[in-house]
């Protein structure tokens, strides 16, 4: 009833004999990768395969959701819904023992192969309701990462979420913690046009799942109600950003995001999405109104005593030697401090270097109006003092919002004076951008000096970089940033290219040959669709898809003697005309569109008589395609019907139906030229 894969034991005591769910061939691919590759190969494979399932199941960044949680090396952990092991490996590094539960044998094999060197992992394969009867009741941590929303499938009861939580609580120590990571059904990304993560449709969570289904996510209030019904009163909410799948930052009620912090919002790795509005601006508005907790894309609900970490930021999409984490800690005495820790052995050298930089930068800025927040070295890494105040970026944005451009320029000049102090000395903080300077009653403080170099870099270079970073992705900042670059720094357009190249080299040094998550998203290939652009294109199409008829009374055609036919097109871009023409005419000219197009004439009659399109009595400014087709290389396409020799009544009837396809001007001209060449040869 057990199987051994490396050091991992798989227990099949409750396995029903077949996997009751499967993602198909991709699981075979994942299993083969887990069998034949080491974990440190996965970043390269993710970039090569450009596949959402490969990214989702194998990316080490998935573990960010739990890596920040303090855990004793003796901790006993239960992971429910362990799947392919995206979280299991990190839990095994942090804890004493990890007990996994998963319904799928194949996924459990993937988990086992990728972590086969771990000696503290046991995987139970089967249905949770069958397995839980044999689980111990003294777990320090129980983790449900992207699992709680499936409780209906686990429990099959009328109150599945409450029942699931109650059963899990029986297996938790009184001093333990249960950690639930789940999407917010009212997450801002869903309003902005991202599809619901599980059902893959638009707005189903916002609409409260009108079509039902086995998956259900919750608002904060919804999760609180479940806790209350289970008698749980000791819990905390954390806010993984952009979401819990690939979080870069963990916020909490004790450290909510500030205006300007939430700008990394294009995370549609798994499917296309709409872009209904700018999520950064919407988040900023919600933060100002104190509503962020209602619209966070994801929640991490932690049941149990509040832990000291109030904020965590990951910088691990870099070269291995630069991968670190920054935490804000609040101890039992309510004292706060900032901690930076290396996320691997290679990165410890990077952390240690900051101590040297701190001492050298202190000497450079001694006597200036800039001070460095104090640090001390600890067993974990570095501990910095926690400072209250506003960042220079926040203050500049406030001035920009008030349209106080003179004040903005004056504050920027002060910044330029601060960073110019000690210029010429062989030590420079290259990352003196606006968010890294905090201002309070005590003065101006440099709160991050990670990227310090032992060489002289001109202040104007640092200032240009600060403005360059400041204007990225924010339209209202660009004008004033451009003006200051010219006015205060004297940097002309040809010089800027050199600065941009320097910045690109700097970023390349940090990331190495690793792709950013944005670049991986682009390689996977799901588009971001702007409905505004689609509406404009549709409006343009509607404008072009108009039928205009000109009448020649003997003096030729003119705009004055013309009219547009209302509702000439149907939904299939088919023109259907039935028009009365009163009195005598020399000719009629029919313009099928106000654009280059291809036309297939299906029916053409004058007073019931068929009109042959390719005859001397019917002329057009396009080229013949087949028996009834015409390609127009002009944005003024027209078909002229001579009526001089045709029977005319007091009331004549023109009937016409044709299929019209609009085409770009270049294509129309190229096709028309091609038709002309064929006729010539």
52: its two tokens: 């959402």
Per-residue pLDDT tens digits for 31-44: 999 999 999 999 99
Least confident of 91-95, 103-107, 189-193, 533-537: 533-537
Q: What is the pLDDT of residue 329?
A: 97
Angle between helices 493-511 and 459-471 (to 10 degrees): 80
State yes or no: pLDDT of 373 exceeds 90: yes
- pLDDT of 675: 73
Give the residue carrying structure tokens 């400014």.
621
State pLDDT tens for residues 229-247. Answer: 999 999 999 999 999 999 9
List all residues 6 or more positions away from 504 whose beta carbon is below 8 Å from its beta carbon. none
Using the predicted structure, report yes or no on whether residue 303 has a pLDDT greater than 60: yes
Q: Half-sphere exposure of 255 toward its Cβ, with a 13 Å CA cutoff?
A: 22
Pick the more confident residue, 66 or 671: 66
Maximum pairwise Cα distance, the chain? 102
As a whole-number percent, the residues of the chain with pLDDT over 90 amount to 82
Question: Mean pLDDT throughout 275-303?
Answer: 96
Length of the chain counted residue by residue: 681
Mean pLDDT of the chain: 93
Is 70 exceeded by the pLDDT of residue 95? yes
pLDDT digits (tens, 9 = 90+) for 124-165: 999 999 999 999 999 999 999 999 999 988 888 999 999 999
Q: What is the pLDDT of residue 681?
A: 35
Give the model's confidence band at 513: pLDDT under 50 very low, under 70 low, under 90 confident, else very high.
confident
Average pLDDT over residues 252-263: 94
Segment 466-477 shows an average pLDDT of: 88
User: How far are the Cα atoms of 158, 255, 313, 329, 358 from residue 336, in angstroms, in the given order?
Assistant: 44, 11, 16, 5, 20
**Closest by Cα among 114, 123, 108 to 34:** 114
Residue 679, pLDDT above cutoff 60: no
- The residue among 672 and 128 whose pLDDT is bigger is 128
Q: Give the position of tokens 């050091």.
A: 7
Cβ-based neighbours of 439, under 8 Å, separated by 6 or more: 389, 390, 391, 392, 395, 445
pLDDT digits (tens, 9 = 90+) for 173-214: 999 999 999 999 999 999 999 999 999 999 999 999 998 888
* pLDDT one-digit tens code per residue, 417-453: 999 999 989 999 999 999 999 999 999 999 999 999 9
Residue 491 or 677, more confident: 491
Using DSSP's 3-state secondary structure scheme, residue 280 falls into helix
Nearest one of 427, 430, 435, 433 to 356, comparing CA atoms? 427
Sequence-ordered list of residues with C-beta below 8 angstroms from that of 428, at least 6 positions apart, any chain? 452, 453, 455, 456, 457, 462
Top pLDDT among 259 and 182 is at 182
Task: Check pLDDT > 50 for residue 680.
Answer: no
């Amino acid at each position: 009833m057990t199987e051994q894969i490396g050091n991992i034991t798989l227990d099949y005591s409750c396995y029903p004999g077949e996997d009751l769910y499967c993602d198909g061939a991709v699981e075979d691919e994942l299993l083969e990768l887990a069998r034949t590759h080491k974990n440190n190969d996965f970043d390269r494979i993710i970039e090569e395969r450009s596949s959402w399932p490969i990214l989702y199941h194998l990316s080490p960044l998935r573990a960010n959701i739990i890596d920040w949680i303090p855990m004793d090396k003796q901790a006993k952990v239960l992971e429910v819904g362990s799947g392919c092991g995206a979280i299991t490996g990190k839990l095994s590094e942090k804890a004493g023992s990890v007990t996994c539960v998963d319904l799928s044998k194949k996924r459990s094999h993937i988990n086992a192969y990728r972590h086969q060197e771990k000696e503290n992992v046991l995987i139970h394969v089967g249905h949770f309701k069958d397995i839980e009867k044999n689980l111990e009741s003294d777990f320090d941590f129980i983790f449900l990462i992207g699992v709680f929303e499936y409780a209906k499938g686990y429990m099959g009861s009328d109150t599945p979420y409450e029942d699931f939580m109650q059963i899990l609580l029986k297996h938790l120590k009184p001093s333990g913690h249960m950690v639930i990571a789940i999407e917010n059904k009212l997450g801002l990304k869903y309003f902005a046009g991202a599809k619901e993560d599980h059902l893959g449709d638009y707005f189903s969570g916002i609409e409260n799942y009108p079509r039902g289904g086995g998956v259900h996510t919750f608002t904060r209030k919804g999760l609180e109600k479940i806790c209350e019904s289970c008698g749980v009163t000791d819990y905390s909410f954390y806010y993984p950003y952009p979401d819990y799948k690939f979080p870069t930052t963990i916020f909490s009620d004790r450290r909510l995001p500030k205006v300007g912090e939430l700008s990394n919002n294009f995370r549609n790795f798994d499917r296309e999405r709409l872009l209904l509005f700018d999520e950064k601006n919407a988040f900023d508005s919600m933060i100002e109104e104190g509503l962020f907790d209602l619209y966070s894309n994801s929640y991490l609900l932690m049941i149990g005593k509040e832990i000291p970490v109030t904020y965590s930021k990951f910088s691990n999409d870099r070269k291995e030697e630069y991968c670190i984490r920054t935490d804000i800690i609040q101890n039992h005495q309510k004292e706060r401090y900032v901690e930076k820790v290396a996320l691997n052995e290679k990165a410890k050298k990077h952390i240690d270097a900051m101590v040297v930089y701190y001492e050298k930068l202190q000497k450079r800025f001694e006597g200036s109006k800039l001070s460095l927040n104090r640090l001390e070295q600890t067993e974990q890494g570095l501990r910095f003092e926690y400072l209250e105040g506003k960042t220079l970026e926040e203050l500049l944005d406030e001035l920009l919002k008030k349209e106080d451009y003179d004040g903005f320029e004056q504050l920027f000049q002060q910044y330029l004076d601060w960073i110019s102090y000690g210029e010429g000395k062989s030590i420079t903080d290259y990352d003196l951008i606006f968010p890294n300077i905090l201002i309070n009653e005590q003065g101006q403080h440099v709160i991050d000096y990670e990227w310090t170099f032992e060489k002289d870099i001109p202040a104007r270079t640092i200032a240009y970089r600060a403005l360059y970073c400041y204007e990225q992705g924010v339209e209202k900042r660009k004008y004033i940033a451009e003006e200051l670059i010219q006015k205060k720094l004297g940097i002309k357009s040809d010089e800027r290219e050199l600065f941009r190249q320097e910045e690109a080299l700097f970023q390349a040094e940090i990331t190495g040959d690793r792709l950013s998550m944005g670049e991986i998203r682009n390689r996977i290939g799901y588009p971001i669709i702007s409905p505004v652009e689609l509406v404009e294109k549709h409006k343009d199409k509607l404008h072009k898809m108009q039928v205009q008829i000109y009448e020649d009374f003997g003096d030729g055609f003119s705009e004055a003697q013309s009219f547009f036919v209302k509702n000439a097109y149907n939904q299939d871009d088919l023109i259907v005309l039935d028009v009365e023409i009163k009195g005598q005419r020399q000719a009629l000219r029919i313009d099928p569109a106000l654009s280059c197009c291809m036309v297939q004439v299906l029916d053409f009659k004058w007073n019931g008589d068929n009109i042959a399109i390719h005859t001397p009595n019917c002329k057009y400014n396009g080229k013949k395609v087949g028996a009834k087709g015409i390609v127009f290389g002009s944005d003024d396409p027209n078909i002229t019907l001579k009526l001089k020799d045709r029977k005319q009544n007091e009331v004549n009837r023109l009937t016409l139906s044709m299929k019209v396809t609009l085409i770009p001007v270049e294509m129309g001209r190229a096709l028309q030229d091609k038709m002309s060449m064929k006729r010539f040869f």
